Amino acid sequence: MTSRRLIRAVLVAGSIGLTAPGAIADEVNVESGRRFAEQNCARCHAIGPAGSSPLDPAPPFRTFAKKWPLESLEESLAEGIVTGHSDMPEFELSPRQIGDFIFYLETIQQK
């Protein structure tokens, strides 16, 4: 997958100090958040900045911040997800993974 190569390039660039100063890549990892969404959520939800959800009633991730603060989703994830998921896989997420995922969500929210 080309995106994997891109990630590696970004990581290498980061580790030798080529990314923008103040980059938060050490703190949170947007790419791993995106990957989590892709692997666990994308078959039902639109997870990107555009497009509609594969499963009609599933709201696109980019609309979440309009409904509730993303921090409340963070809590739900920490406690184990959530309402309305009949067919939802169960997750065990580390705080780190949750942080990455929420951070990814922030990058795609509609303003």
- Choose among 31, 39, 40, 27: nearest CA to 108: 31
* Cβ nearer to ligand HEC, comparing 4 with 85: 85
* Cβ nearer to ligand HEC, comparing 14 with 43: 43
How many whole angstroms separate alpha carbon 60 and alpha carbon 81? 16
In angstroms, what is the minimal distance from the CB of 105 to ligand HEC?
A: 8
In angstroms, what is the minimal distance from the CB of 20 to ligand HEC?
A: 29
97, 35 Cβ separation under 8 angstroms: no
In angstroms, what is the minimal distance from the CB of 75 to ligand HEC?
A: 11
* Cβ nearer to ligand HEC, comparing 19 with 76: 76
Place of tokens 């795609």: 108
In angstroms, what is the minimal distance from the CB of 95 to ligand HEC?
A: 15
Tokens for 92, please give them: 């065990």
70, 105 Cβ separation under 8 angstroms: yes
* Cβ nearer to ligand HEC, comparing 22 with 57: 57
Q: Which residues bind ligand HEC (CB under 6 A)?
A: 40-41, 43-45, 55, 57-59, 73, 82-85, 87-89, 91
